[in-house]
Amino acid sequence: MNRRHLFRLLTAASLAAIVSVTASAQDKPLKVGVTAGPHAQVLEAVKKVAERDGLKVQIIEFSDYVQPNAALAAGDLDLNSYQHLPYLEAQIKDRGYKFVNVAFTVTFPIGIYSKKVKSLKDLKEGASFGIPNDPTNGGRVLLLLQDQGLLKLKPDAGLKATPLDVTDNPKKFKFVELDAAQLPRSLDDLDVSAINTNFAISAGLNPSKDAIAIENANGPYANIIAVREQDKDKPWVTQFVKAYRSDEVKKFIDATFQGSVIAAW
């Protein structure tokens, strides 16, 4: 066997090995963590686009905001898509996660709901007010109430304002801090509750019709896709982001949620 023929055989074998490894990698589905409800619905649309382009996707649903990041850190997920950037930044600071934001996805304006009053102006003095117990989502509710003229916060409170930052509370609202997923069920017991749109929709609430007040959609709370730092330049990240931010997915969001969920691209 001459050298040229041997070189061709070795080259062919090497190419076959590369193709085999690539095929094997594509056969393994990309594990994506989401919270149940609208995020999962959007991911079903993303999955169709991604798989049509050759990227297999496995959607893994969670019922709270804590576990998707813990699962990503543990390597049980390849990426997650459920949180806004201020929440991710707080999690990185508090828990030391080595995550990065690779794309903005959708905005879920937070709404205020009640079974007892039709307007915030109807709330009586001392009304019980449910808010999310994580600083970023609790803070956005307090900022919304400040925008509505119902309270005042310390000037430097920022996006992570807490009830301790309230300097003027004319109606003496009694804030009850609960896990965000529990807030829809609190409506039977509290006078009013602020509920993230994904949990509101899952509970059968329509933000555009049922909320007695709602956050401006053009705020800083666009949701993001998070991956581990070491994965941010992987080809599948680019491929997944392209599928998510496709015209097909945007049309799905607009048609399905009618303004309750807004594409952030």
Nearest to 42 by CA among 247, 206, 244, 179: 244
Percentage, residues of the chain above pLDDT 70: 90
pLDDT, residue 135, reads 84
Residue 146 has pLDDT above 80, yes or no: yes
Judged against a pLDDT cut of 70, whether residue 18 lies above it is answered with no
Domain ranges of the chain: 25-109+220-263, 111-214
Position of tokens 């829809």? 184
* 111-113/152-153 β-pairing: unpaired
pLDDT tens digits, residue range 75-131?
999 999 999 999 999 999 999 999 999 999 999 989 999 999 999 999 999 999 999
pLDDT for 22 beyond 60: no
CATH class of segment(s) 111-214: alpha beta
pLDDT band at 12 (very low <50, low <70, confident <90, very high): very low
Check whether 21 has a pLDDT greater than 60. Answer: no
pLDDT for res 216: 83
Residue 116's pLDDT is 97
Does domain 25-109+220-263 match CATH 3.40.50.720? Answer: no
What does the pLDDT look like over 154-193, one tens digit per residue?
999 999 899 999 999 999 999 999 999 999 999 999 999 9
Hey, what's the torsion of the CAs at 203, 209, 214, 220, to 10 degrees?
70
pLDDT at 2 over 60: no
- Tell whether the model's pLDDT for residue 19 goes beyond 60: no
Please indicate whether residue 105 or residue 19 has the higher confidence score (pLDDT): 105
**Percent of the chain with pLDDT strictly greater than 90:** 83
* Strand order through the sheet with 57-62: 57-62, 30-35, 79-84, 222-228, 99-107, 262-263
For 32-44, how does the pLDDT look when each residue is reduced to its tens digit (9 = 90+)?
999 999 999 999 9
Cα torsion through 67, 133, 207, 259, rounded to 10: -60
What band does 10 get if pLDDT is binned at 50, 70 and 90?
very low
Mean pLDDT in the chain?
91
Confidence tier at 26 by pLDDT (50, 70, 90): low
Full-prediction pTM beyond 0.85? Answer: no
pLDDT higher than 60, residue 24: no
Nearest by Cα to 128 from 140, 139, 117: 117
